[in-house]
Each structure stands twice: as C-alpha cells, then as structure tokens.
Amino acid sequence: MLAAGRRAPLLLAAATVAWLAAAAGAAAGTASAWNRTEQTALRLVAGTTAVGRGETVPLGLHFTLRPGWKVYWRSPGSGGLPPAIDWAASENVAGARIAWPAPRRFEAQGIESFGYADEVVLPIQLRLTRAGEAARAVAAVDYLTCREICIPYQATLTLDLPAGPADPSPEAALIARFLERVPGDGGQHGIRIDGAALARTAAGPRLVATVAAVPPLAAPDLLVESGLPLDFAAPRLSQAADGRAILTARVDGDDAVVARLVGSGVTLTLVDGPRSAEVPVTVVAAAGPAPASLALWIAMLATALLGGLVLNLMPCVLPVLSLKLLGVVEAGGRERAEVRRGFVASSAGILVSFAALAAGAIALQAGGHAAGWGIQFQHPWFLAALAGVLALFAANLWGWFAIPLPGFAQAAAAAPHRGTLGHFLTGAFAALMATPCSAPFLGTAVGFALSRGPLEILAIFLALGVGLALPYLAVAAFPGVATRLPRPGAWMNVVRRLLAVALVATCGWLLLVLAAQQGTGAALGLAGVLVAGVLLLGPLARLPAAWRTSIAAATLVAFAVVVVPRIAAVPPAPAPSQPAGQWRPFDRAAIAGLVGAGRLVFVDVTADWCITCQVNKKLVLGRGAVADRLAAPAVVAMRADWTRPDPAIAAFLADHGRYGIPFNVVYGPGAPQGVPLPELLTESAVLEALARAAGPARTAAAPGG
C-alpha cells in the first residue's frame, strides 16, 4: 500500500486529468453543462466532435449519483420510473433511441427494483432530420432518484452539434465503456439462452430458463420483462443433466394472469458479472416430471421406509415413547392374540394418519398452495387440540378417570391399554407427534413426493408410516417378547405417573408454541381451561348429575369466551426481530450481494415447534467452534423463523428441494448456490460446509474468519 505522502500527488494528478478531460469536452462543445441536485448530477455528452456525414450522432446521458442513491432501468421492477427524454425543443433532430446497460437488482423492504448506482451513461443514437447539417440537441429529462425516499427531478440539457468531420470526442471512451455493458444476444460472452417454460410446482409457479454458458455461470441474475402484471423473483441456479444451467425464478401474481404467461412473449436479460445477454422468447408450458423408473421407485420407497424408522429416534417422538413403553409393559402376562391385536391396531392408526397427511398434501398441491412436512404445527387450532389430547392422556395416566365418559372420549383417554380403538388412537397420536421433525432420509423422500404427483405423495407417505410403525409391527409379529415381561402390579402406578410427566412437558411445549403464534393470552387461557378441566375430572364423579352438568357447561363457556377468540384472532404481524447474538433476520435478497463481497452466509431455517431445530441450536450452532466461526466478521448468520406460515420461507425451502425443517445451508464464493447440511447437525459437518463455501482461496484462512 502506498504511503499517504505518495498517494496525494497521484490523487492530485488523477483529479487534474479528469478536470482537463472535462474542460476539453466543454471546449470542444461535446458536453452540456452539468445539471446538479443534492443527490445527482447529469449532463448530455457527444461521442463525436461534429455530426459528420451520417444520419445519426452518438450521444450519452451521463448520470453520477451520491452513495446509496439510484436511477432506474427501462423496466424498473415493483417500484420506480425510468428516465424519460423529450426532444421536442431540438433542431434538426428527428428522434432518438436509448440503449440500456445491464442493470443491478435492488431490494428494499421486500420490494425489488432494477437500476443503476454511482455512475451510468445511457448511450443514445440521435437521428438527424437532415444529414450532415448542424443540430441542436435539447433534452428535457424527467427522472426519479431513490434511496429510502424517492425524489422526482426535471432537467433541460442543451448541446450544439456543429457540421464537420465526426472525429472522436473526449467523451467517446466514456460512452463506449457503457455501450459495452448493453446486453447483446450473448454470443460475445459465451452465453446462449435456449428458452423459458412455466412450471407448476408444489411451492407455486416458476419460470424456468435454460442457459448454455462457457465458462459456466457464476452468480447470475435473470430479469424478466412481460406485458402481464407479474413479478419475478431472483433466480436459483441449478445444473441440468446435459451440463446446461437452469435458472428458476418464482412467479408472483394472480393465478389467472400467471396462466396467461404460457404462449406470451417475454424478454429475458441475463446478467452474470460483466457478462450479459438479452433475448426475446415465447414461454411454453413445462413438461411434468418424467415418470419415475422402477429403480427410482424402489430407492425412494426404501428411503421413506428408513426415514420413518429413524423418525422413532427423533426428539419429536420421545414424548410418545412413554405411551409405547407403557403399552409394552402392560402387555406382560396377557394373551398373545390380545397383544398382537393391540399392536396391529396401533400400526393401523399410524398408517391412517399418514394417509390423512398425504391427502392434505395432495389437496394443498391441487389448490396451488405450498405443502410441507409438519406445517400443521403452524396452525393454532391444531396446537390447541393436540394440547387437549395430551392433557387427557396425562390425566388418565395419573388415574383421574373415575367418571364415565362418552365412548369415543373414554377410548381416547384410556389409550394405550384399554380397547382396540384406544390402541388405534395411540398410533395416530404417535404419527402426529412425529411430524414436527425431519429425520435423515425423510427429507429426500418427502422432497421427491411433493415435487411430483398424488400417486407419489400417497406411496411415499404410506412408506414413511410403515417405517414409523415397524416397532409396533415387530411386537405384533413376535408377541412373546411382550407377554414374557413381568405382570403389572403396584409398581406400575409409579411408572405411569412418571411417564405422565413427559406428556405434561410436551403439553407445555405446545402452549409455548401457541404463545409464539397467537400471544401469551391465548396460551394462558388455554392452559387455565386445561388445568381446570383435568382437576375437575376426578371430583366430578362424586357430585350429583346436575352439578357435573353445570360445571362442565361452565368449563365449556370459559373455553368459548376466554380461549376461542384469542386462538381465532388474526395475530398482528411480528415486529422485525433481531435474533440473539450474531444472528440476523433472514434476508434472501441480500445473500447474493454478501457472497459477491466475499462473505459467507449461513442460513438456519427453524421454528419453535421443531424440536430437532432446538437440539441443533443447543448442541451445535450455539456452542464451541461452530458458534465462534459463525461470529467471525467474514460470516453472516441468518435465521429464518417458520413458526408461523411464511410464503417466502416456504418458497426458499422448495427452491432447495426441501419441504420440512430443520434446513441449514451455507453460501459463499466457493458455493454461490449453497451447500446444504443434513437434518441432524454435527460440528464437523458445519465446519466442513463453511470451508467448502469459502472456496480454495480462503479455506486455509477459514478458522480465523
């Protein structure tokens, strides 16, 4: 680095050269006077010293902007207006055509726009009415400049163009520099855009463009200009089997308008660093996914089966293990046929629940909505109902049921040890409790299913159910394992009460999730009703019928008055949160810019209802070498909270082929499209992904940030 004493003369020399160039332009009459505001300066410049003999003259509209301010491209995006020029006051001018250099994508408060920052020249071809004669160009310019606020300006720029030889002007190089940034067909940059198709995915419509590029694309952006009122998100880059690049951009707009995109013409502008290409294409309908081969079917079904089996070991299912354990222990001394019947019924409950989940996913997909694994935990009524079931199970394990209940409620409360229906409901409950977790192998299977059709969804979900039910089916196949256990006795009362604690803890966890979604009032109100209901179950049996009816009615009224309005209310949008420590809120639009600046971005998609997510935070992300690495200045750690429904997060997951959480991915100069991590994190896996995303040039320096 040069010492300050040596830099000063160089800076002075550079400033002198710039001043002399500007003075030369002014002296030659090839640049108008600057029109200056607090945010901008603009002028009209000519590429030649005179009009020459041709019918056109090269000009440029030259903007310079203060840091943070921008002007807009010809298609400004969701907000803004492009510069407009009126030449009516000109002399010997028949018209003009503006060329637009490749723009940048800007994002502010969820609104995306396209334009230019710092400096830009819009090259202009000015057509003369009479070739070879002097002309006066008078440009009345209307433009908008924006930062946090937008300010419209008007400027009138005048430039006299004498007759004579068209020698290059002092501004010719400036115009040429920006003319090189005007996208062509891509041939000069080794880029060929082969077409675009509209694909219907589980996460919504996507525009898919196929691109051949040599060298391969690094950090591309795709700008889509359509005559329809639609918005197109920043694209995701993937690789086709034939080596071509696939750019997939989310399409936002009314479903009827999206349907009109097929068969319409759009202009695609691809920008990849200094390279660019621009072509008009007609959008076609994307072909559906190719039918899965027999080998793929076998592989996916085996993956789903294994994923369901592993799901038994995930934290979400641990509370249900108390019911499983109790069911096995209470089978001691029973008839083999009775044990087999009970565990087959539990397996049937699991399979029916998974079939219902599959039906829900198919219905959501048919309605154009995003389907995902465990999304029912985003809905407060589901949480309330599940908390009620847990409270009922816990009360039963504590021996509170000394009163007659309706048949269905009695069977539910008596699970897992009384009646076939009780065993069935235990299995169904186990399946529901498994859904907030994403186990190894499960994400692959669910991603395959939800990216395809109803047949695949049903088959994969049933295979997951079979995997989860395998322990039950094993006991049903070999009931002697259970019947040879010690017979239940007085010691079982202690076991039952201890196991009930796990269900109460799970109920408390559900109330915390409900509080995060609907507020503390809803959770406290539901907790009060549940506690009152459970405490009254035993004493009610000793009261007269009229008292039992009155107290039950009062409990229901309290639920309707205190809890229902709070659960049914639409919660206020959460205030922008600042996650603890080094974490910042998820901002998908900022990832490309951060990676372009050489930084690593670690994204953690989590939710309060995802127990595996909480385990990952406690055991890996929040401690040791991983926490130190994520806190380094070169790393940006983002946390996406999916506790409530969020279409942006759902789309982010779907774009990575994921439909459940936890999901963690690392972006960096060495992996601009991201390095996904497994569902269960380890310290070595996270550090290895960070090193890989940093790229070869930075891997050695990774531990120090």
Cα Rg of the chain, angstroms: 33
How far, in Å, CA of 305 to CA of 318, rounded? 19
DSSP state of 91: B
Question: The domain that contains 62 carries what CATH number?
Answer: 2.60.40
- How sure is the predictor about 699, in pLDDT bands with cuts at 50, 70 and 90? very low
Same domain, 513 and 391: yes
pLDDT averaged over the chain?
80
How far, in Å, CA of 595 to CA of 509, rounded? 37
Choose between 283 and 516: higher pLDDT.
283
The pair of three-digit structure tokens given for residue 358, joined into one six-digit string: 């599959």
* Phi, psi (rounded to 5 degrees) for 251: -110, 125
In a domain, 357, yes or no: yes
Residue 88 neighbours by CB under 8 Å, 6+ apart: 138, 140
Same domain, 301 and 400: yes
How far, in Å, CA of 537 to CA of 599, rounded? 59
Report pLDDT digits (tens) over 198-256. 987 766 789 999 999 988 888 899 999 998 888 898 998 887 767 788 999 989 888 88
How far, in Å, CA of 132 to CA of 420, rounded? 99
The pLDDT of residue 662 is 86
Highest mean pLDDT among 125-129, 247-251, 450-454: 125-129
The pLDDT of residue 541 is 58
Into how many domains does the chain fold? Answer: 4
Any idea which residue has 């891509």 for tokens?
Answer: 186
Q: Is the pLDDT of residue 409 over 60?
A: no
Same domain, 273 and 173: no
Any idea which residue has 């002296």 for tokens?
Answer: 27
The pLDDT of residue 426 is 77
Where helices occur in 38-195 by DSSP H, the ranges are 172-179
Q: Residue 112: beta bridge partners?
A: 107
Highest mean pLDDT among 118-132, 281-295, 518-532: 118-132
DSSP state of 387: H
In a domain, 3, yes or no: no
The pair of three-digit structure tokens given for residue 176, joined into one six-digit string: 């040429």
Q: Mean per-residue pLDDT for 272-299?
A: 83
Same domain, 106 and 223: no
How far, in Å, CA of 117 to CA of 122, rounded? 13
Q: Of the residues 285, 318, 346, which one is the last residue of a structural domain?
A: 285
Same domain, 299 and 438: yes
Q: Of the residues 258, 285, 312, which one is the last residue of a structural domain?
A: 285
Same domain, 554 and 414: yes
Report pLDDT digits (tens) over 638-671. 999 888 888 778 878 877 777 778 899 999 888 8
How far, in Å, CA of 290 to CA of 303, rounded? 20
Q: Residue 246: beta bridge partners?
A: 210, 238
Same domain, 366 and 509: yes
Cis ω for the linkage preceding 416 (within 30 of 0): yes
Q: Mean per-residue pLDDT for 626-639?
A: 92
In a domain, 36, yes or no: yes
Same domain, 559 and 481: yes
Residue 8 neighbours by CB under 8 Å, 6+ apart: none
In a domain, 252, yes or no: yes
**Residue 86 backbone class (left: φ over 0; alpha: ψ -120 to 50; beta: rest):** beta
Q: CB–CB of 225/266 below 8 Å?
A: yes
In a domain, 576, yes or no: no
Question: How, if at all, do strands 635-641 and 600-606 pair?
Answer: parallel
Percent share of the chain, pLDDT over 70: 76
Question: The domain that contains 678 carries what CATH number?
Answer: 3.40.30.10
Q: Of the residues 567, 593, 615, which one is the last residue of a structural domain?
A: 567
Q: Is the pLDDT of residue 412 over 50?
A: no
In a domain, 6, yes or no: no
CA distances from 440 to 148, 447, 472, 680 (A): 44, 12, 21, 7
The pLDDT of residue 516 is 78
How far, in Å, CA of 185 to CA of 191, rounded? 8
In a domain, 698, yes or no: yes
Same domain, 404 and 460: yes
Q: Mean per-residue pLDDT for 391-407?
A: 61
For the chain, helix (H) and strand (E) counts, in that order, are 22, 25
pTM over 0.85: no
Where helices occur in 541-631 by DSSP H, the ranges are 545-558, 564-568, 588-596, 611-616, 624-630
- How sure is the predictor about 184, in pLDDT bands with cuts at 50, 70 and 90? very high
Residue 260 C-beta-side C-alpha neighbours within 13 Å: 11
Burial 453-474 (b: 16+ CB within 10 A, else e): eeebbbbbbbbbbbbbbbbbee
Same domain, 548 and 404: yes
Greatest distance between any 2 Cα atoms in the chain: 113
Q: What do you get for the CA distance between the two ends of the chain, in Å? A: 23
Highest mean pLDDT among 382-396, 560-574, 597-611: 597-611
Any idea which residue has 């309060």 for tokens?
Answer: 608
**By C-alpha distance, which of 137, 104, 105 is closest to 119?**
104
Choose between 263 and 370: higher pLDDT.
263
Same domain, 236 and 343: no
The angle formed by the CA atoms of residues 227, 259 and 110, to the nearest 5 degrees, is: 65
Q: Is the pLDDT of residue 42 over 80?
A: yes
How far, in Å, CA of 273 to CA of 605, rounded? 29
**By C-alpha distance, which of 43, 220, 58, 23 is closest to 120?**
43
CA distances from 568 to 404, 518, 590 (A): 31, 9, 35
Domain housing 53: 19-179
* Phi, psi (rounded to 5 degrees) for 701: -90, 0
Any idea which residue has 């799970």 for tokens?
Answer: 506
The pair of three-digit structure tokens given for residue 377, joined into one six-digit string: 């935990």
